[in-house]
């Protein structure tokens, strides 16, 4: 018995390692992304890792331990950062059924599958293994895999589906199987809307249509992605049905420069980016509050305040921006505020390094400064309790959608005088 346990300790080390590292994650952390977990750091945690008791692993047979090892071989530092990212999101799940499902996860592979549970096999050639390959290509997207008349998700993705798409777990909560959930093909649009509305990107895997040889699985391929502000199109647009394209949601990066605060907006769908520098803290908070962003990245330069404490938000400076950001999900990034943000976007959307983004920054010469938060609030350009909404007064009651956003954007970011005159002339 002792020999078996000892053997499990050695063989299962990678799994324990990842689990122990994940357990160090604080209960509440604003920066979802952490720099790579370095090897020296791993060494320092070795003692804790070896003392970490996982009775489930100790109970496992040598056969299942072998399965665990197989699923861990490919787990690297980057995968760990992705798993940390998912773990933080899963900790926010509140539905009782989701909470129960999350307990069945192990963070030893990108899908969070416990290979010791029923249907948890990651053996090469199985559907789970194939889904893991797809997941590793887009680790921060929810993976929906077409299986017959359903789109199915397993592990972490199934938990997200249950929490945000209102689906029921496969086999209910009594099942001793891995978390699984799915929606019928006809409900894909609704499910994608639910996920993207909650800020998640989705990777959709289709199966090749047509007959297959007996006792062989269908071939599958990634047919597309759905992002917040960028709908999934493949197979959803019919001859008699128009797809409603929402306003694109940018990835936003905020940094500090010698001339003030800087905001960089990247639109993946358009492959464009724009930068605005020299903003006051109030102006950048106003921009943040009026911009629905897909992902928010904060540059390390924000942490180096003039007090020299490296504690952002302390002693007032940056406090307003900190208050705005701390209520949101964000990640820290370092390096060049533009180039490294673009790298993050490529990583996020699974784009090749060769993909280029066009700079569409509009020159701020001869252009009025954008409204500060205080002004925008007082005139009712930003919805505020007790202050009438200016846009509702200016525009007809039946006016909604893009026109409202356009006018609001004009108010918050006044164009150059000649452009403003031209717009006035047209009206």
Partner DNA sequence: GACAGCGTTTGTCTGT
Partner DNA sequence: ACAGACAAGCGCTGTC
Residue 184 pairs with which residues in a beta bridge?
150
Does 171 bind DNA (CB under 7 A)? Our answer is yes
Distance (Å, whole) CA 391 – CA 379: 10
Does 119 bind DNA (CB under 7 A)? Our answer is yes
Does 149 bind DNA (CB under 7 A)? Our answer is yes
Choose which of 64, 128, 196, 230 interacts with DNA (CB under 7 A).
Answer: 128
Does 217 bind DNA (CB under 7 A)? Our answer is yes
Q: How far is the CB of 205 from DNA (least distance, A)?
A: 11
Distances (CA, A) of 339 to 264, 288, 325, 331, 361: 10, 21, 22, 16, 15
Stretch that binds DNA, among 210-218, 268-276, 295-303, 349-357 (CB under 7 A): 210-218
For the chain, counts of helices (H) and of strands (E)? 18, 11
Q: How far is the CB of 134 from DNA (least distance, A)?
A: 13
Give the count of beta carbons closer than 10 Å to the beta carbon of residue 167. Answer: 18
Number of residues near DNA (by CB under 7 A):
32
Choose which of 112, 139, 155, 182 interacts with DNA (CB under 7 A).
Answer: 182
Give the count of beta carbons closer than 10 Å to the beta carbon of residue 72. Answer: 21
C-beta separation of 228 from 268 below 8 A: no
Residue 223 pairs with which residues in a beta bridge?
none
Distance (Å, whole) CA 235 – CA 212: 21
Distance (Å, whole) CA 147 – CA 135: 16
- DSSP code of residue 305: -
Does 181 bind DNA (CB under 7 A)? Our answer is yes
Does 323 bind DNA (CB under 7 A)? Our answer is no
Distance (Å, whole) CA 14 – CA 404: 53
Does 71 bind DNA (CB under 7 A)? Our answer is no
Does 124 bind DNA (CB under 7 A)? Our answer is no
Q: How far is the CB of 144 from DNA (least distance, A)?
A: 10
Judged by CB under 7 A, the chain residues 82 through 101 that form the site for DNA are: none
Does 374 bind DNA (CB under 7 A)? Our answer is no
Choose which of 77, 193, 207, 277 interacts with DNA (CB under 7 A).
Answer: 207
Q: Which is nearer to DNA, 145 or 411 (CB)?
A: 145
Distance (Å, whole) CA 162 – CA 157: 9
Stretch that binds DNA, among 33-41, 212-220, 342-350, 369-377 (CB under 7 A): 212-220
Site residues (vs DNA, CB under 7 A)? 118-121, 126-128, 147-150, 152, 167-172, 175, 180-184, 186-187, 190, 207, 212, 215, 217-218
């Amino acid at each position: 018995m002792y020999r078996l346990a000892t053997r499990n300790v050695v063989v299962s080390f990678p799994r324990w390692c990842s689990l122990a590292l994940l357990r160090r994650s604080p209960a509440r952390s604003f920066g979802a992304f952490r720099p790579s977990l370095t090897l020296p750091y791993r060494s320092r945690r070795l003692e804790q890792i070896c003392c970490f008791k996982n009775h489930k692993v100790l109970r496992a047979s040598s056969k299942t331990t072998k399965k665990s090892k197989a699923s861990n071989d490919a787990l690297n530092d980057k995968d760990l950062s992705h798993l940390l990212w998912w773990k933080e999101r899963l900790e926010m799940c509140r539905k009782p059924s989701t909470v129960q499902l999350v307990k069945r996860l192990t963070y030893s592979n990108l899908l969070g599958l416990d290979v010791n549970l029923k249907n948890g096999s990651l053996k090469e050639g199985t559907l789970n293994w194939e889904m893991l390959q797809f997941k590793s290509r887009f680790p921060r997207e929810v993976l929906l895999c077409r299986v017959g008349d359903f789109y199915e998700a397993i592990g972490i993705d199934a938990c997200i589906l249950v929490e945000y798409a209102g689906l029921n777990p496969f086999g209910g909560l009594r099942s001793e199987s891995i978390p699984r959930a799915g929606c019928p093909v006809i409900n894909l649009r609704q499910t994608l809307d639910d996920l993207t509305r909650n800020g998640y990107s989705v990777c959709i895997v289709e199966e090749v249509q047509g007959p297959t040889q007996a006792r062989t699985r269908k071939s599958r391929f990634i047919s597309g992605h759905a992002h917040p502000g960028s709908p999934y199109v493949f197979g959803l647009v019919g001859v008699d049905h128009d797809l409603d394209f929402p306003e694109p949601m940018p990835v936003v990066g905020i940094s500090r420069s010698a001339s003030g605060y800087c905001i960089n907006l990247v639109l993946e769908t358009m492959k464009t980016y724009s930068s605005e520098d020299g903003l006051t803290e109030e102006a950048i908070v106003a921009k943040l509050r009026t911009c629905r962003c897909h992902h928010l990245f904060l540059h390390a330069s924000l942490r180096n305040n003039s007090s020299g404490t490296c504690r952002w938000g302390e002693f007032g400076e940056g406090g307003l921006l900190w208050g705005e950001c701390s209520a949101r999900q964000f990640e820290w990034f370092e390096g060049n505020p533009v180039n490294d943000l673009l790298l993050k976007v490529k990583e996020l959307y699974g784009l090749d390094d060769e993909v280029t983004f066009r700079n569409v920054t509009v020159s701020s010469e001869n252009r009025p400064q954008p409204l500060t938060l205080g002004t925008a609030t007082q005139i009712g350009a930003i919805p505020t309790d007790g202050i009438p909404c200016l846009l509702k007064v200016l525009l007809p009651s039946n006016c909604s959608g893009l026109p409202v956003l356009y006018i609001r954007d004009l108010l918050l970011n006044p164009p150059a005088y000649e452009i403003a005159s031209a717009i006035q002339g047209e009206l």
